């Protein structure tokens, strides 16, 4: 079994060494693929140093900040080319505790896609300002209503995906880039016949570095969800 954990990075020098080590130590089947958008802080060269020590570390360098959605789309293709049986999406900033990878591995035969969810056991978010929690929670309720996908945390960035589920989706149809990307992928999985299950996580705000999310990304998600039902995501 090969599980490739894709971690998109933009200016994550304070987290990158620690997150890679924490992921790899969870299970021997895990490898990491960092997709770095030419971070000005030199994140990529830190990954290159780690590559000299471990064959389980991969790096995809891109020319500039091209967005989270396109980083994941390129990451998926590379992970499948490298022979991944499962592909994981995860943030670099420790908001997604690597220990939950073991829960996801344990559930791998229960569904095609396993989502690390903040909203199935009440609201499990630590250290976010109340307005950000409320925005995220209600955006999720809204996205669920519009898309009809029965998932409580549609904007979650922590997902464990089988290669079969991924290869049923025509990635060139997926156009969103931020939170909208997470919702759109879930819609694409559900509408191409994949099963989705949620496993509870406690999401913690980052302690190091800064968030790259902004108003445009939130607006893209709120407006973009209307279009998903009109598209066919099959290959």
Ligand X SMILES: Nc1nc2c(ncn2[C@@H]2O[C@H](COP(=O)(O)OP(=O)(O)O)[C@@H](O)[C@H]2O)c(=O)[nH]1
- Residue 147, sorted as left (phi over 0), alpha (psi -120 to 50) or beta, turns out to be alpha
CB of 230 to ligand X, least distance (A): 26
C-beta closer to Mg ion: residue 70 or 162: 70
Q: Does 176 bind Mg ion (CB under 5 A)?
A: no
CB of 12 to Mg ion, least distance (A): 10
CB of 54 to Mg ion, least distance (A): 25
Residues in touch with ligand X (CB under 6 A): 8-10, 12, 35-37, 65, 67-68, 71, 91-93, 95, 206, 211-213
Q: Which of these segments, 66-74, 76-84, 143-151, 203-211, binds Mg ion (CB under 5 A)?
A: 203-211
CB of 4 to ligand X, least distance (A): 16
Q: Does 93 bind Mg ion (CB under 5 A)?
A: yes
Q: Which of these segments, 60-68, 88-96, 102-110, 164-172, binds Mg ion (CB under 5 A)?
A: 88-96
CB of 92 to Mg ion, least distance (A): 8
Binding at 92: pick from Mg ion, ligand X, none (beta carbon under 5-8 Å per type): ligand X
């Amino acid at each position: 079994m090969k599980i490739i954990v894709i971690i998109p990075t933009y200016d994550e020098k304070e987290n990158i060494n620690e997150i890679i080590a924490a992921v790899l130590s969870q299970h021997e089947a895990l490898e990491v693929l960092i997709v770095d958008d030419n971070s000005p802080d030199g994140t990529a060269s830190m990954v290159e140093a780690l590559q000299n020590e471990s064959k389980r570390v991969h790096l995809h360098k891109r020319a500039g900040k091209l967005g989270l959605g396109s980083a994941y789309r390129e990451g998926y293709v590379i992970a499948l080319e490298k022979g991944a049986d499962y592909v994981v999406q995860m943030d670099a900033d420790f908001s997604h505790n690597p220990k939950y990878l073991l829960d996801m591995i344990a559930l791998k035969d229960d569904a095609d896609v396993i989502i690390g969810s903040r909203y199935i056991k009440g609201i499990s978010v630590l250290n976010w300002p109340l307005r950000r929690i409320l925005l995220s929670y209600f955006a999720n309720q809204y996205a669920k209503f519009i898309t009809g996908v029965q998932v409580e945390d549609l904007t979650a960035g922590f997902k464990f995906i089988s290669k079969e589920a991924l290869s049923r989706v025509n990635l060139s149809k997926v156009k969103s880039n931020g939170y909208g990307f997470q919702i759109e992928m879930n819609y694409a999985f559900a509408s191409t016949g994949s099963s989705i299950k949620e496993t509870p996580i406690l999401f913690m705000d980052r302690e190091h570095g800064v968030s790259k999310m902004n108003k445009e990304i939130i607006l893209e998600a709120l407006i973009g969800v209307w279009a998903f039902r009109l598209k066919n995501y099959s290959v």
